Structure 1
């Protein structure tokens, strides 16, 4: 375990028999997340498996027209997002691929994605004391596996936030390498009025963990590059949201109340 910057901690892990095994207990990882800190877990997932997810996602998207309809949360779709979110007023410019019905994909694509998403699912379960499986469960929370591409030339995701529960801890797994496959853009956070930028601190295979109600954003990729939806270069990440799409959405007021709720390392002290 190593402190990389203020509120930014790296935890090493091994990838053993398809599972992410951190150097400290999952309960300790969650304690660090909830203090709060941004925790970068070096998962050890082989780079080839991560690269395969990108290639399989691109191959699948080439056979499926991008959706222009409202999300139904019960299918597999990809969408070129270029709008401002209605509730949080967060501007967006990125290409997401959402596999709510991941088990309905053809065998090859399903197995390629699950080679990465299933270890992340098991790790998230160990962190949150859940035993959730993939599959659509209307009326209750379920997983929404996503592969997101931030193209070169100005893609980004504006400052936004989520309800803490039922997700508890957000997961952002780097599928490619900063400094090689892309040179700008990373996820930023606010902790106790301090800005925490992760750009340059997340390598391929590293998974960012964060308390899910922290305000966060994705910084723009450099405008020195020309933007193109069809250019595969840029930042690729996988995330594993867990929520009920028909439940209560995030409030339109930024959740600054978390400052009074989060305990720091000293259990008797509460951040004011």
Structure 2
């Protein structure tokens, strides 16, 4: 484990029989996440598996028409998002591939995705103490596997936040390499009124973990490049949200309670002393 900055921690891990095994206990990782700190886990997932996810997702998106209707959260779709998000009320410009019905995908593509998403699911389960499987469960939380492409030339995701539960910890897996495959754009956070940028810190195969109610965003890719929806160049990440899309959305006011929670804990400790 290494402290990269006041709020940024790096943790090594090994990839053993399809499972991400960190150098410190899962409970310790969650303690760091809840302090809160941003934890970057070097997953050890082989780069060729990550590259296969990018290439197969891009190929799939070229065969399947992009969705232009409101999300139903019960299918496999991709969408060129260029709007103000209805739930988060944040501006967006990126290409989103969402696999709510991942088990219904064609065999080879499904297996390619699961070589990465199954380890990510198991890792999240180990962190949170759950035993969740894939599958749509209306009226209950379930997984929404996503592969997100931030094209060169100005793609981004504006500042937003989520309810803490039931996700607890957000996961962002880098599918390609900063400085080689893209040169700008990364995820930023606010902790104790301090801006934490992870651009340049997250390498290919690294998983960013963060307390899910922290305000965060994706910084724009450089406008020095020309934007093109039909070019796969740019930043690619895999994320694994777990939520009920018809449940309670995030509160309007940020930050989601983590700061009040910390203040309340500090006041309680002061009284106890």
TM-score (norm 1): 0.96
- 1:170/1:269 CA distance change after superposition, 3 Å: farther
Partner of 1:211: 211
User: Deviations for 1:188-243, whole angstroms, at most 9, x for unmatched residues?
Assistant: 00000000000000000000000000000000000000000011110000000000
Secondary structure at 2:94's aligned position in 1? strand
Partner of 1:130: 130
Partner of 1:34: 34
Indicate the RMSD between aligned Cα atoms, in angstroms.
1.8
Question: Are residues 1:189 and 2:189 paired?
Answer: yes
Q: Which runs of 5 or more residues in structure 1 are unaligned?
A: none
- 1:83/1:204 CA distance change after superposition, 3 Å: same
Compare 245-254 and 41-50 and name the one that shifted more.
245-254
Which stretches of structure 1, 4 residues or more, deviate above 4 A after TM superposition?
Answer: 266-270
Q: Which runs of 5 or more residues in structure 2 are unaligned?
A: none
> How many residue pairs are counted as aligned between the two chains?
270
Deviation at 1:268, TM superposition (A): 4.2
Secondary structure at 1:261's aligned position in 2? helix
Contact map agreement 1:43 1:206 (CA 8 A) in 2: yes
Q: What is the CA–CA distance in structure 1 between the aligned matches of 2:34 and 2:270, rounded to whole Å? A: 14
Q: What is the CA–CA distance in structure 1 between the aligned matches of 2:85 and 2:98, rounded to whole Å? A: 17
User: Deviations for 1:247-267, whole angstroms, at most 9, x for unmatched residues?
Assistant: 11112222353212148xx99
Contact map agreement 2:14 2:22 (CA 8 A) in 1: yes
TM-score (norm 2): 0.96
Q: What is the CA–CA distance in structure 2 between the aligned matches of 1:268 and 1:210, rounded to whole Å? A: 25
What is the 5 A alignment of 1:114-263?
114-255=114-255, 257-262=257-262
Contact map agreement 1:90 1:159 (CA 8 A) in 2: yes
Deviation at 1:6, TM superposition (A): 1.8
- 1:156/1:269 CA distance change after superposition, 3 Å: farther
Contact map agreement 1:6 1:196 (CA 8 A) in 2: no
